[in-house]
Structures are given as structure tokens and as C-alpha cells.
Structure 1
Amino acid sequence: MDRLGARCPLPSYPRLSVLTCLLLLTVSLLTYPMLRTLSLQLHSAVTGSYVSGTYSIVFVNCPNEHIARDIARTILDKKLAASVNILPKASSLYFWNGEIEEATEITLLIKTKTSKVHMLSSYVRSVHPFEIPEVFSLPMDQVDVHYLKWLKESMEEH
């Protein structure tokens, strides 16, 4: 017992304090993104200001216009977005199975709440004909207040 005391001369309670502090620090770091998002939403609600990143634009490439329209309509029906632009025929070059491929695709620009991007992405992956559909989003910044109001109202459940 003397040997243990010689190596760890501090009483056990400071070690417990250090462990507690480390645990609190870890929990704080893990919950920071969620707490930050909630605080920004609260600030936005109280001040009426727009918080950058509250809304996003999601990009999805489709093999043809028919599939693009079907996906766009269903996304709107499900209130997963407020608006979808269907951009005509983009030439795409990409690597697939180690080879350079070339295709013509239709691009969807989907305007939605950032909080709905995960659900929207899951839906697109479930119905998209590509093995690995291109689905990515960018946060909106500097949004016009009137457009923001329309976005918000368009996505509300009635």
C-alpha cells in the first residue's frame, strides 16, 4: 500500500475531479454543434434576423428529365423543399470503375431547410436509379428577407 501511495501521492478526490472535468469537456464538445444550432435559432426567432445556414440548396443530378420531374414533384408533395429548379442537360465527366465516363444529366437545385437535408437525401437515395446518386448541399447565406419568408411559409405543414 505504501508503494501505491508513493506513486500517487494525491488523495483520490482530485483524480475524481479531473475525470469529472474531462467527462464534462467531452460532453460539451460532442453537444456543441447542436447547442450552437439551437442558440442561433433562438436568436433568429427573438430578433427576426436570418441565421446563415438555416436553409440550404441541395444539388441532385438525374439521368433524364422524366426522373428529375418525378423526384422534384414528390419532394414538394412531401414538404421536403419549398422549390426545385430543373436545369437542362449538363455534361458530366467523372470517374467510374477506374474509367473516365461522360454523360448528359439533368441537375436539380432544391431549396430546403437545412434541418430537412438528411431526410431529403435519404428519400433521393431510395428512389434514384443511380447506384451512387450525387446529392450534396450548400448552406444559403445573405438571403433576401422576402424570399426567406416565402421559403418558410412554403414548407409549413397545413
Structure 2
Amino acid sequence: MATPFDDCILIMTSCPSENVGLGIAKLLVAENLAACAQLGSPMTSVYSWQEKVCEDREYPLYIKTRKALYAKVEALILTQHPYELPEIIALPITQGLPGYLNWIKDNTQ
């Protein structure tokens, strides 16, 4: 039997500025590709890039959507994101308040 969370995912990316993150979030919600996109407070990212250890200030962006929309969300992020290789990862939502998960589905049709 299908449950409300079978198709829901959380996509995570990080943005170099608040403006970039808000722009991506607003487009995703306006185009019904995400029910909600939350831009977090700035964080410090330490990562390896082109054989160097880098440190940058970034803004996490959490996107609630459905598995079926992953490719479209990824494509939109790639058109709006300034990084050569942005973080775009998706995690399955394995549990959650059924009403909230149904809300995600209702707002991403």
C-alpha cells in the first residue's frame, strides 16, 4: 500500500549568496516544482576543489518536492546557479506528518 511519503524527497543545494538562493527558491515554487524551499542562514563550507582546500560562506537551500520532479528541479538549479559544479543531492523522506507530505504532493502537481 502506498504511503504519503513514497514520492517525497528533500533536495539540498548550497548557494554563494542570499540573492542566488532566493531566486532559485522563488522560481521552484512559482513553477510548482517545489512545495517549499527554505534558505538557511549562512554557513562556512570547507571542501576540496581542484586539489586545494577551500573555505567559503554559503547559504543552504532545502527543497521539498517529489521524486518525479527531480530532473526538472536539477535542470532549473543548473540554469540559475553560478558554480561550475553545484551541490545537488536528494534524500528520500522516509517518515513525516502525512498531512504535510500530502501538502507537498498537492503543491507540486
Which range, TM-score by smaller chain? over 0.9
**Where do 1:1-158 residues align within 5 Å?**
43-44=1-2, 49-52=3-6, 54-156=7-109
Q: Which residue of 2 is the match for residue 36 of structure 1?
A: none
Higher normalized strand content (fraction of residues): 2
Which has the higher relative contact order, 1 or 2, with Cα contacts under 8 A spaced 6 or more apart?
2
Q: Deviations over 1:56-93 (max 9, x none)?
A: 00001000001100010001111111001111101100
Give yes or no for contact 2:12–2:87 (8 Å, CA) kept in 1.
Answer: yes
In 2, the alpha carbon distance for the partners of 1:144 and 1:51 equals: 9
- Tell me, in whole angstroms, the C-alpha distance in 1 between the residues paired with 2:71 and 2:62: 16
Displacement of 1:118: 1.3
* Whole-angstrom CA distance in 2 between matches of 1:113 and 1:130: 24
- Relative to the length of structure 2, the TM-score reads 0.94
What fraction of aligned residue pairs are identical, expressed as a percent? 27
Gap regions ≥5 residues in structure 1: 1-42
Task: Report how many residues are paired.
Answer: 109
Query: Which residue is 1:8 aligned to?
Result: none
- Residue type at the aligned position of 1:136: I
Aligned alpha-carbon RMSD (Å) = 1.2
Instruction: Give the structure with the larger helix fraction.
Output: 1
Amino acid aligned to 2:79? S
Shift of 1:50: 3.0
Q: Name the SS of the counterpart of 2:103 in structure 1.
A: helix
Uncovered stretches (5+) of structure 2, i.e. residues with no partner: none
Q: Which amino acid aligns with 1:155?
A: T
Structure 2 Cα separation of the partners of residues 111 and 142 of structure 1: 13
